[in-house]
Amino acid sequence: MSTRERILDAAARVMRERGVAHATTKEIARAAGCSEALLYRHFDDKQGLFMAVLQERMPAFALPDDAAGTGTVEGNLVRLVGGLLDFYADSFPISASIFSSSTLLARHREAIAAHGAGPQVPHLRLQAYLEAERKAGRVRPDADVEAVARLLVGAALHHAFLVAFWGEGNAAEPGLGERLVAPVLPALLTG
């Protein structure tokens, strides 16, 4: 693994485990097993390093390839929500830390706007899946798919928030995906 990658891993680890406030250059260098000076060979400054972590060490949000029309809507939704729960569990600690600095937030916002990425992507993707199912006739034509997408994505985010707050202890909650999907099914399914 290249030094740059080691530094990025170390920085991400410190940010996750101790919070951005403690993610000092000294702490990151110690975690990466190198000198502080070396950080500056690979990154312009500390904010540049943070930005690289945000862009290269945020867990990718990959919804499984569009399964619209295959399997059952319920099964697909459960799988998608499971992916959302994992995604937010991994990304929430670092995402939240962005809000600790207005300047970091502003830079991140600009960087992200350029890529078409951003925090609205998950619910837009889920919404797109539901729209495809609606087009396929497996979801009621009058269903508010945007609202449903927001409910499901929100519940996943909320769960990550609680886990991050209370510590790693109560992380996995088996069957949560199924339980979250069930209440919105009557509003979705053609009947």
Partner DNA sequence: ACGGTGTTAGTAAGTATTCACTCACACCTC
Partner DNA sequence: GAGGTGTGAGTGAATACTTACTAACACCGT
3 binds, among its own copies, DNA, none (CB under 5 to 8 A by kind): DNA
Q: Is 146 in the site for its own copies (CB under 8 A)?
A: yes
45 binds, among DNA, its own copies, none (CB under 5 to 8 A by kind): DNA
Q: Are 173 and 159 in contact (CB under 8 A)?
A: yes
3-state class of 189 per DSSP? Answer: strand
Least distance in angstroms from the C-beta of 35 to DNA: 4
Q: Is 20 in the site for its own copies (CB under 8 A)?
A: yes
Of 22-81, binders to DNA (CB under 7 A) are 22-26, 33-38, 40-41, 45-47
Q: Are 54 and 15 in contact (CB under 8 A)?
A: no
> How many CB atoms sit inside 10 A of residue 39's CB?
23
Q: DSSP alpha helices (H): ranges in the chain?
A: 3-18, 25-32, 36-42, 46-56, 73-98, 102-115, 121-135, 145-166, 176-181, 185-188
Quick one: which segment of 26-34, 60-68, 70-78, 163-171 binds its own copies (CB under 8 A)? 163-171
Least distance in angstroms from the C-beta of 186 to its own copies: 4
Q: Is 171 in the site for its own copies (CB under 8 A)?
A: no
